[in-house]
Structure 1
Amino acid sequence: MTTSTPVLNSRVIGLAHYAARALLESVLARHGATFQQSVTLRLVAVADGPVETEHLVESVVASLKVDAEEAHSVVDELLAAELLAPQESSRVRITDAGRELHETTSAETAPITARIYDGIPTEDLAVAGRVLSLITERANAELAK
């Protein structure tokens, strides 16, 4: 095993993603929610109001790299669990229970996130953010080909 500083590559990014996701999923599991549901619920929780269902599905597809059928299924799960509710004919809104779940899981993950990022210089986080955003942009462009 080497102790050299890892070079940023897809493996390093993937390991960081899955480690952080596992932590989030452990919090979500205590509340009976999945990662996909959390991502979908957050998109509605941070919106200014009701969200067009098709726009939500497109956002889930873009975020999670799943097909539209799977994204619709997640929206349906959230509707069935009464975490989202229909609004007009083509929109959904977050319910009080959905907002409570989002706020509770966010509050439970906040101290974990703080511990993970503790001691990392702000400048390093800014560089990492810019680099990862560029990688995401380029990967999305490749997927669109």
Structure 2
Amino acid sequence: MSAAPTVNGQVIGQAHYATRAVLERLLAGTGTTFHQCVALNATADSDGLVERRRLAGRMTATLKIEAAVAESTLSELIGAGLLEELPGDVSRLVLTAAGQELQRRIGTGTAEITARLYADLPAEDLAAAGRVLTAVTARAEAVLTEG
């Protein structure tokens, strides 16, 4: 049996792409893109109501995408009837009933996948991995802000 590799960019990347592929398969069954899923989840995290500018900003910061891509994603969700502009305040977006249902369905599927992927991993290993990945993320964010 070979020794477990030390955490590095390749190991992190392989884990990211493998888990992302599993999520993409779930999303394909719903007709939802990854960016749309992130926007729906972020809106749900804000009790179903969010400032459009804040949501687009969260998407650009988290996903490292251009503002135009975030705005296009929000327009797609509005066009699909999953988000709508708050009547009387177009600067805010709200989940529609269809958006809430889809977000719940994706959340349930994601929870099932997560349970399966992390099922027998020791809590202390998960905590250590969380600390390492949080530190690496913070350092990468700092490098990005340096220009």
TM-score class normalised by the smaller sequence = over 0.9
- Which residue pairs with 2:124 in the alignment? 123
What letter is aligned with 2:134?
S
Residue equivalent to 1:134: 135
Structure 2 residue aligned with 1:101: 102
User: Given the two structures, how large is their TM-score scaled by the length of structure 2?
Assistant: 0.93
Report the Cα offset of residue 141 of structure 1.
Answer: 1.0
The one-letter amino acid of 1:31's match is T
2:62 corresponding residue in structure 1: 63
Give the root-mean-square deviation of aligned CA atoms: 1.2
CA distance in 2: counterparts of 1:50 and 1:107, whole angstroms: 21
Task: Tell me if 1:90 matches 2:103.
Answer: no
**Amino acid in structure 2 at the alignment position of 1:18:** Y
Q: Structure 1: which 4+ aligned runs deviate by more than 6 Å? A: none
> What is the aligned length?
144
Q: Which amino acid aligns with 1:104?
A: R
SS at match of 1:33: coil
| In structure 1, distance between residues paired with 2:5 and 2:72 | 38
Letter in 2 for 1:23: V
In structure 2, list runs of 5 or more residues that go unmatched: none
Please say if 1:5 is aligned against 2:4. yes
Query: What is the match of residue 41 of structure 2?
Result: 42
Shift of residue 49, structure 1, vs aligned partner: 4.5
TM-score by length of 1: 0.95
Deviations 1:69-121 (A, max 9, x none): 11111111111111111011201011111111111011122222111101111
